[in-house]
Structures are given as C-alpha cells and as structure tokens.
Amino acid sequence: MKKFSIIILLLFLCVFMSCKKTDNFLLIRDFKINDTLENVENKTANIVLIYGQSNATGCSLFDYLETNNYEYLDTIKNINNVYINFVTENYSNSSDNTFINSIVGCGARKDMFGPEVGISLNNYLNSSEDLFIIKYSYGGTTLDDQWLDGSYGRGELYNGSIKFTIANLEYLISKGYTLNILGICWMQGENDACSIKQANRYLKNTKKLVSFYRKDLNKYSKDIRWVDACIDKDVWPKASIVNETKLSLVNEIDNYYCIDTNSLGLTTKNEPTGEADLAHYDSLSQVLLGRKFYDELVK
C-alpha cells in the first residue's frame, strides 16, 4: 500500500510540475541593482552563479539544521564574507535586486534555503575573501521548453537569468571590482525526467545551454566552469536517462563537472517528519550539495 501511495505521489508531482508555466514578468522587469555596496579599489569579486529549478531555489527547512544539531550551525548564522542577490520563483522570494550579507532564508520561502548555504560555508572555512552569489531559479520548470524554447534556442528563463546576471556583474564593475567568476552551479532536470521525450532531449539541450551561457557571458569570463549535479534516482521516472546524460557530458564538454548526488547519499525522504517532501533535498543533504558545488568550483 505504501509503495502504491508513493507511485501516485510521483505521478502527481510530474503532472503538476510539468504543467507549471512561467510568464513574461521576469523578461520585462527592470533589473536595476540597488546601490548598497561600498566603492573599492584593486579588489576582486569572486562570483558564483546558481541556476536551475526547485532544488537550486531551495525547499530545505532551516529549522531542521537546528533539529539535527548540525555542527556548523553557528558558523552558518555568522558568515560575514558572502553577499547574495537572488530571485526565486518569479520574485515570490528575493533579495529585491540587492546584495545582502545573509544566506539564511534565500530559498523558496524565508524559512528555506538552497545550495548557497553549503557554498558559503566552505568559502568561509577555506577563504578569507569575499564571495558574491548570484542566484536565479524557478521551481517546476523544464530545460526543454522554459530554460530553452523547445527548439534548442534560448527560452524565457534563460533570457531572464542572463539579464539578471549581467545587471549584477555590471553593478560590481561599477563599484570598482575586478570580476572572477568561479563558475555556474546548475541544479535542474527533475521535470525533464518526467517525460521520455524531454529526457531524451536533455543531452542536446544541455550542450546548447552551456554554450549559450558561455557565449553570452564571454565578456566577463572565458570558458566558465560548469558544475552540474544529478537528480534523485528514486523519485523521477526517467532519472536514469537524465543522470546518465549529465555524467557522460564530463567527457564531452570542456571544463564541465558533475556531482553524483546519488553516490553521495543525498536524501529527500526524511523531512518534514511524517510527511516527507520527496521532490526536495533534506536539509543536511542540501548543505552537502552546496559544499560539493564549492569544492568543484575551486579545484
């Protein structure tokens, strides 16, 4: 009976999330970055770009880090060398076009977080330099016809992400920073794994996506490092196709890396207690994902 219930839930997730469509609000919005940073001289801005769907947005509850007595909890709360400007779910939660010095509450809701927490933690533990995170994500979306346009061209979300990213990069330049883009973290593929057609198109779509970002951001950084991540193998019907695609591209695209989240043991089955959200990573797994992203970025 339990297995049957899980199957019904997964079918619901795929149908519901596949039907979710973006609108044009992000494309016409004026991404004017609020001027809150000090002017600098001879200083480098180390930058991480995060794109993707809901596990990039972050639906992990911060309260569970406290429940689990996470060893770095106090450190996370006091990180002071990371600035983030983020847009999630079409502005349902954002930093309102402002770099803020806080990484707590930058997920789908103010009580949720994404991979920025683990990225920031590892930066704090391993570097005294400031880090700037630019995150643009939208849950329940496909690479095939929302990030791209269904015909291997740039899509709504891609165009929105580029517009938002460039506005932030130009702002940092205006403040006197020299840019050092560490790379792009891409956490996406769950919705494409709901359809055999979209799963089979994931290889060509990813190649196109990487080439578009590298071309459109070439002015700011050459051959930007790309760090991908696998999706949960037990949750999404065509996950094996999407994951095999991601892992195979390590040998096909230069400066491309992929985190095997399944081999790492990342879980979605434990939180919230008694009513697990199977589509999204548990809190400790989300932190580990971010930490692995950072490790791949600075190799």
Q: What is the extent of the structural domain holding 56?
A: 2-18+33-297
Share of the chain above pLDDT 70, in %: 90
- Residue 91 placed within a domain: yes
Rounded to an integer, the average pLDDT of 87-115 is: 96
- pLDDT at residue number 270: 96
For residue 49, pLDDT over 90 is answered with yes
**Interval 75-99: pLDDT, tens:** 999 999 999 999 999 999 999 999 9
- Residue 27 placed within a domain: no
Q: Is there a contact between 192 and 186 (Cβ–Cβ < 8 Å)?
A: no
Q: Give the Cα separation of 140 and 119 in Å (integer).
A: 23
- Reading phi first (left if > 0) and then psi (alpha if -120 to 50, else beta), residue 29 is in beta
Rounded to an integer, the average pLDDT of 174-200 is: 98
- pLDDT at residue number 16: 45
- Residue 60 placed within a domain: yes
- pLDDT at residue number 30: 75
- Residue 23 placed within a domain: no
For residue 132, pLDDT over 90 is answered with yes
Rounded to an integer, the average pLDDT of 116-123 is: 98
Domain tally, the chain: 1
- pLDDT at residue number 21: 47
- Residue 241 placed within a domain: yes
- pLDDT at residue number 26: 59
- pLDDT at residue number 7: 44
**Interval 193-236: pLDDT, tens:** 999 999 999 999 999 999 999 999 999 999 999 999 999 999 99
Q: Average pLDDT over the chain, rounded to whole? A: 92
Rounded to an integer, the average pLDDT of 121-147 is: 97
- Residue 97 placed within a domain: yes
pLDDT band of 277, cuts 50, 70, 90: very high
- Residue 117 placed within a domain: yes
Which of 23-37, 97-111, 206-220 has the weakest average pLDDT? Answer: 23-37
Q: Which two tokens stand for residue 46?
A: 């180390």
What is the CATH number for 227? 3.40.50.1110
Share of the chain above pLDDT 90, in %: 89
For residue 27, pLDDT over 60 is answered with no
- Residue 230 placed within a domain: yes
- pLDDT at residue number 22: 52
| DSSP strand pairing (226-229 vs 93-94) | unpaired
> CB under 8 Å to 66, separation ≥6 — which residues?
73
Rounded to an integer, the average pLDDT of 255-265 is: 98
Q: Give the Cα separation of 191 and 157 in Å (integer).
A: 14
pTM (2 d.p.): 0.94
